[in-house]
């Protein structure tokens, strides 16, 4: 992940909105806290606990602060702490799991390690009412929550009382009503705590007094005004990939600056059936956005000839993409050099600075296809109007901008396209076979009404041939693997549990209709240990 400068951008663009600050202690689910807070209509940002200086927090001016969970133990030497100023700013604080424990420790209470571990589903018994449970949980309620802890609070700081208990945590839910400090041992941000989102909403709206003024309609108007101010009369280019993020970026920019925007669609020839035509038709015909459709399929196929190693393949595609894009952008600019900006659909998850407990950069699993280096090479300034948004907010913004719901709900598609779904060398024939199989598979998924329940579904053409019998004759054709996963962010994934009947129907259609495929298998590997794409 690329480092951001927390808060700096938001302060200038979103100063009129109520804001919550989430301090991250490295939990796997910190992003979900932000999702729930934003769903409550409140803008928020995630900062690493150690990147939050007193001045920076003060300048951000949060109406409330949430302390996330994390993998450390507060009982360990030099384990992370929240800046002490968090508790002295006179704003409400909500500590979750590790966040609760460090709050307790920092305010004079005690935490002990290892006595009772609770992982997964648990129940909290509400012992007393609290303003944060108003309208949600009454005294005596027995509420399902999700726990993941080895340490627990054993002594409360002054001014705190117990709101709820669980079997393993006598201080599972605590409150200091006067200072508006709350702490929970469980995770309200995950769906396995059914009323967790409502609890976080009570915190942001009732306790912190946020007004719920973070809506996509408001965001759109502000983003348009900001783009106009930033761009003035200059020209902007935007690379379209056919995906949701770049499409929403382009439509937003077009609404802001009209024909000052030119979109560039580099057609790698690695797209699915009809995809390139759809992009051209949508932007050029429907939106009337100046669009250059650069057919570079021959170039890409040439560059990939005989390349079998996945990393070399990815790098070759990335490098060629930049080369072609640069060349086309040069043409748009011409001699006047009037293009000043490059627009990109970077999302908030890409700019969140993550907390590293390993101390070093993580291992590269795959070189992602991105155009991050372009602005410097081309001496362009960058516009990233979606930088503050999560994926589902981008979808909501797309709808707000008039994009069709079917379009904004499309599954993600990787930059290197079908090339990473053909292990081994790529040929035009193989691309044709894969396109056809993929088309049938997705058609059947749509017909069965399953498309929206799946994060991503696609076919993979394996470099394996297998013997079969077709019409009394021996066949020796390729094997096609089908993949379908559920996920919330692509970081982890589960396979989609299709019925055997559905899989059988797809396999029969593919073998009957696609010349060159003789066997179909279903990939049941989750991520981890697998990845979503095959290469
Ligand atoms: P993996 O295969 O790493 O994929 O589990 C996670 C998600 O990322 C997509 N993906 C890419 N997206 N450029 C992209 O824009 C890439 O190079 C790339 N590689 C993988 C993948 O489709 C999945 O949604």
pLDDT tens track for 89-116: 999 999 999 999 999 999 999 999 876 6
Q: How confident is the model at residue 150 (pLDDT cuts 50, 70, 90)?
A: confident
pLDDT per residue over 324-339, tens digit each? 999 999 998 876 668 9
- pLDDT of residue 21 exceeding 60, the answer is yes
**Mutation choice for ligand 1 from 485, 532, 534, CB with most ligand atoms inside 8 A:** 532
- pLDDT of residue 7 exceeding 60, the answer is no
Question: 327: CA distance to ligand 1 center in Å?
Answer: 26
Task: Quote the longest CA-to-CA distance of the chain.
Answer: 83
Question: If we measure between CA atoms, which residue out of 386, 338, 54, 417 comes closest to residue 220?
Answer: 386
pLDDT per residue over 466-484, tens digit each? 999 988 999 999 999 999 9
Report the pLDDT value the prediction gives residue 89, as an integer from 0 to 100: 96
Question: In DSSP terms, which residues pair with 90 in a beta bridge?
Answer: none
Can you list the domains of the chain with their CATH numbers?
A: 8-207 (3.40.50.880), 229-408 (3.40.50.620), 427-522 (3.30.300.10)
417 lines ligand 1 (CB under 6 A): no
Helix (H, G, I), strand (E, B) or coil at 89: coil
Query: Which numbered atom of ligand 1 lies nearest the CA of 411?
Result: 24
What sign does the CA torsion over 305, 310, 314, 316 have? negative
pLDDT per residue over 374-421, tens digit each? 788 888 999 999 999 999 899 999 999 999 999 999 999 999 999 999
110 cis-preceded (ω within 30 degrees of 0): no
Q: How confident is the model at residue 2 (pLDDT cuts 50, 70, 90)?
A: very low
Report the pLDDT value the prediction gives residue 8, as an integer from 0 to 100: 40
Report the pLDDT value the prediction gives residue 366, as an integer from 0 to 100: 83
CA 4 to chain centroid, in Å, comes to: 16
- pLDDT of residue 117 exceeding 80, the answer is no
Annotation says 189 is catalytic: yes
Q: 397-402 contacts: CB < 8 A, separation 24 or more?
A: 397/216, 397/219, 397/220, 397/248, 397/252, 398/244, 398/247, 398/248, 398/251, 399/216, 400/216, 400/217, 400/220, 401/220, 401/248, 401/251, 401/252, 401/255, 402/251
Choosing from 17, 44, 45, 97, which is the catalytic residue? 97
Alpha helices in 79-162 (DSSP H): 98-106
Question: 68: CA distance to ligand 1 center in Å?
Answer: 27
- Which residue's C-alpha comes closest to atom 21 of ligand 1? 414
Report the pLDDT value the prediction gives residue 334, as an integer from 0 to 100: 78
Report the pLDDT value the prediction gives residue 362, as an integer from 0 to 100: 67
456 lines ligand 1 (CB under 6 A): yes
- pLDDT of residue 3 exceeding 50, the answer is no
Q: How confident is the model at residue 358 (pLDDT cuts 50, 70, 90)?
A: low
- pLDDT of residue 189 exceeding 70, the answer is yes
Query: Which numbered atom of ligand 1 lies nearest the CA of 491?
Result: 6
User: Quick one: DSSP state of residue 139?
Assistant: T
- pLDDT of residue 217 exceeding 70, the answer is yes
Question: 377: CA distance to ligand 1 center in Å?
Answer: 24
- pLDDT of residue 10 exceeding 60, the answer is no
- pLDDT of residue 218 exceeding 70, the answer is yes
In terms of Cβ atoms closer than 10 Å to its own Cβ (0-12, 13-18, 19+), residue 529 is exposed
Would you say 315 and 321 are in contact if contact means Cβ atoms under 8 Å apart? no
Q: How many alpha carbons fall within 13 Å on the CB side of residue 330?
A: 9
Report the pLDDT value the prediction gives residue 371, as an integer from 0 to 100: 72
Question: 491: CA distance to ligand 1 center in Å?
Answer: 9
- pLDDT of residue 342 exceeding 70, the answer is yes
Report the pLDDT value the prediction gives residue 191, as an integer from 0 to 100: 87
Q: What is d(CA 140, CA 28) in angstroms, rounded to the nearest whole number?
A: 31
Lowest-confidence segment of 71-80, 279-288, 292-301, 349-358 by average pLDDT: 349-358
pLDDT per residue over 40-51, tens digit each? 999 999 999 999
pLDDT per residue over 202-215, tens digit each? 999 999 999 999 99
Query: Which numbered atom of ligand 1 lies nearest the CA of 535?
Result: 2
405 lines ligand 1 (CB under 6 A): no
Question: Residue range 158-162: average pLDDT?
Answer: 98
Report the pLDDT value the prediction gives residue 349, as an integer from 0 to 100: 85
pLDDT per residue over 285-333, tens digit each? 999 999 999 999 999 999 999 999 999 999 999 999 999 999 999 998 8
% of the chain with per-residue pLDDT over 90: 82
CA-based end-to-end distance of the chain: 20
User: Quick one: DSSP state of residue 40?
Assistant: T
- pLDDT of residue 12 exceeding 50, the answer is no
- Which residue's C-alpha comes closest to atom 4 of ligand 1? 532
529 cis-preceded (ω within 30 degrees of 0): yes
Report the pLDDT value the prediction gives residue 15, as an integer from 0 to 100: 61
Report the pLDDT value the prediction gives residue 229, as an integer from 0 to 100: 97
* Rounded alpha-carbon distances, angstroms, from residue 453 to 189, 482, 486, 514, 527: 21, 16, 7, 26, 17
Report the pLDDT value the prediction gives residue 335, as an integer from 0 to 100: 60
Report the pLDDT value the prediction gives residue 507, as an integer from 0 to 100: 98
- Mean of all residue pLDDT scores within the chain: 92
Q: What is d(CA 53, CA 21) in angstroms, rounded to the nearest whole number?
A: 13
Query: Which numbered atom of ligand 1 lies nearest the CA of 369?
Result: 17
Q: What is d(CA 284, CA 288) in angstroms, rounded to the nearest whole number?
A: 5
Q: φ and ψ at 310, to 5 degrees?
A: -60, -40
Annotation says 211 is catalytic: no
CB proximity list for 373: less than 8 A, separation 6 or greater: 322
532 lines ligand 1 (CB under 6 A): yes
More confident site: 15 or 77: 77
Report the pLDDT value the prediction gives residue 402, as an integer from 0 to 100: 95
Report the pLDDT value the prediction gives residue 120, as an integer from 0 to 100: 87
Question: Residue range 232-242: average pLDDT?
Answer: 95
């Amino acid at each position: 992940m690329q480092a951001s400068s927390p808060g700096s951008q938001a302060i200038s663009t979103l100063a009129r909105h109520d804001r919550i600050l989430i301090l991250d202690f490295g939990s796997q689910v910190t992003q979900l806290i932000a999702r729930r807070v934003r769903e409550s209509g409140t803008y928020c940002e995630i900062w690493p606990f150690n990147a939050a200086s007193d001045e920076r927090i003060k300048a951000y001016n949060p109406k409330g602060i949430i302390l996330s969970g994390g993998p450390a133990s507060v009982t360990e030497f030099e384990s992370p702490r929240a800046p002490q100023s968090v508790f002295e700013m006179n704003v409400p604080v909500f500590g979750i799991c590790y966040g609760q424990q460090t709050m307790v420790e920092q305010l004079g209470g005690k935490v002990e390690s290892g006595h009772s571990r609770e992982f997964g589903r648990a129940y909290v018994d509400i012992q007393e009412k609290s303003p944060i449970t108003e309208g949600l949980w009454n005294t005596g309620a027995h509420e399902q929550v999700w726990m993941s802890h080895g340490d627990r609070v054993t002594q409360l700081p002054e001014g705190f009382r117990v709101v709820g208990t669980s079997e393993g945590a006598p201080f599972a839910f605590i409150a200091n009503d006067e200072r508006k400090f709350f702490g929970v041992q469980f995770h309200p941000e995950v769906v396995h705590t059914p009323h967790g989102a409502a609890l976080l909403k009570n915190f942001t709206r009732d306790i912190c007094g946020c007004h719920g003024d973070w809506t996509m309609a408001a965001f759109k108007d502000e983003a348009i005004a900001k783009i106009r101010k930033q761009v003035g009369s200059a020209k902007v280019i935007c690379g379209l990939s056919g995906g949701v993020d770049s499409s929403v970026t382009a439509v937003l920019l077009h609404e802001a600056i009209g024909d000052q925007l030119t979109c560039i669609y580099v057609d790698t020839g690695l797209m699915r059936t009809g995809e390139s035509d759809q992009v051209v038709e949508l932007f050029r015909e429907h939106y009337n956005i100046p669009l250059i459709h650069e057919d570079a399929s021959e170039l890409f196929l040439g560059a990939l000839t005989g390349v079998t190693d996945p990393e070399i393949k990815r790098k070759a595609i990335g490098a060629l993409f930049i080369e072609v894009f640069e060349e086309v952008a040069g043409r748009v600019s011409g001699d006047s050099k009037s293009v000043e900006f490059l627009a990109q659909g970077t999302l908030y998850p890409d700019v969140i600075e993550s907390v590293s407990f390993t101390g070093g950069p993580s291992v590269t699993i795959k070189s992602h296809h991105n155009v991050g280096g372009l602005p410097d090479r081309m001496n362009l300034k960058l516009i990233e109007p979606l930088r503050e948004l999560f994926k589902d907010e981008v979808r909501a913004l797309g709808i707000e901008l008039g994009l069709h719901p079917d379009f904004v709900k499309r599954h993600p598609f990787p930059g290197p396209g079908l090339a990473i779904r053909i292990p081994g060398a790529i040929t035009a024939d193989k691309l044709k076979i894969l396109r056809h199989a993929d088309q049938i598979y997705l058609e059947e998924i749509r017909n069965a009404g399953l498309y929206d329940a799946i994060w991503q579904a696609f076919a993979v053409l394996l470099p394996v041939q297998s013997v079969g019998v077709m019409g009394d004759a021996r066949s020796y054709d390729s094997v096609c693997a089908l993949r379908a996963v559920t996920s919330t962010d692509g970081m982890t994934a589960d396979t989609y549990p299709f019925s055997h009947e559905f899989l059988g129907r797809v396999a029969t259609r593919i073998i009957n209709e696609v010349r060159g495929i003789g066997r179909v298998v279903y990939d049941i590997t989750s991520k981890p240990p697998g990845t979503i794409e095959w290469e």
